[in-house]
Amino acid sequence: MSTFKISQYKELTQLEFINLLMSAGGLTPSDIISIKQNPLYEFFWLALDQAKFINRGDPSLLEGLNLMTAQGDLPNHRREIYRNWPK
């Protein structure tokens, strides 16, 4: 018998994710606009724009948040996004 693990975390709409970036990530609306316009994050936003929902375990999400953290564009570090992800 095979088993599969169901994620305990909610899949977010893009608006819910942006709100999470502001509440847990410490970003302002101006920060999000700047990040969205930054060519470094072009693939990250392209991937998010194509997703119906944003899944906490998506590798593109982790890569984008790691990049934001490394560039100093995510004041509260990516781990705060994961800690505060709704269940």
> pLDDT-based confidence at 2, cuts 50/70/90?
low
pLDDT for the residue numbered 38 = 97
d(CA 53, CA 35): 20
Task: Please report, to the nearest 10 degrees, the dihedral formed by the alpha carbons of residues 48, 54, 57, 60 taken in order.
Answer: 0
d(CA 45, CA 36): 7
* Residue 83: count of CB within 10 angstroms of its CB: 10
| Amino acid letter, 37 | Q
Let me know if 27 is exposed, middle or buried by CB neighbors in 10 A (0-12, 13-18, 19+).
buried
pLDDT for the residue numbered 61 = 94
Domains of the chain: which residue ranges?
Answer: 14-83
Note the pLDDT tens digit of each residue in 17-63: 999 999 999 999 999 999 999 999 999 999 999 999 999 999 999 99
